[in-house]
Amino acid sequence: MRRWFLGVVGAAMLGSAACGGGPSSTPLPTAAGTPYTDEQYLAVMCRDLDHLTDVLVTATNADDVRQALQRFIDDLRSVVPPADLAAFHAAFIAYLEEALAQPLDVITRKPPLPEEEVRRRLAAKEPTVPECRRPTFFSVEPAATPTP
């Protein structure tokens, strides 16, 4: 599991060398309660995954990571996900909240994933979302579970 996440973080670090952060260029819905499109949802996820990855690379203490996790949680709480992402969305927020106690756990704990069909759909849309400059766990094939 650690190897999988570090691979994603490593790929993100390589991608970050040429890319700077910045405000989202994908317009987000203004009506409360309106579900986000896949692209809008990806814009939030990619922006916050980029930020968290940057913090994991540069942090000098666990509190720096904790602040990035809290920002991610706060951003996700303001999102109304597409209907078929609701369960994943709640599970991912719970994953981040659990990591607040031990912030560096996000390096070793595998995050939840949406159902495979939904994950593949999001992965296919990542190249169309400007905020998705780095590969995310949506676009990285999950490792097969070894058979005993």
The answer as to whether 18 is a domain residue is no
pLDDT of residue 36: 96
Per-residue model confidence (pLDDT) at position 32: 55
Residue 25 domain flag: no
Tell me whether residue 5 is in a domain.
Answer: no
- CA–CA dist 140, 131 (Å, integer): 17
Residue 141: per-residue pLDDT: 66
Name the residue range of residue 119's domain: 34-137
What is the residue type of 42?
Answer: L
Residue 112 lies in a domain: yes
Q: For the chain, what is the domain count?
A: 1
SS (H, E, C) 48-104: HHHHHHHHHHHCCCHHHHHHHHHHHHHHHHCCCCCHHHHHHHHHHHHHHHHHCCCCC
Is 84 within a domain? yes
Q: Is residue 142 part of a domain?
A: no
* The predicted structure's pLDDT at residue 3: 40
Q: Is residue 94 part of a domain?
A: yes
The answer to the question of residue 91 being in a domain is yes
Average pLDDT per block of 10 residues along the chain, 148 residues long = 41 37 46 84 96 94 95 96 96 96 90 94 94 83 53
* Rounded CA separation 8/106 (Å): 12
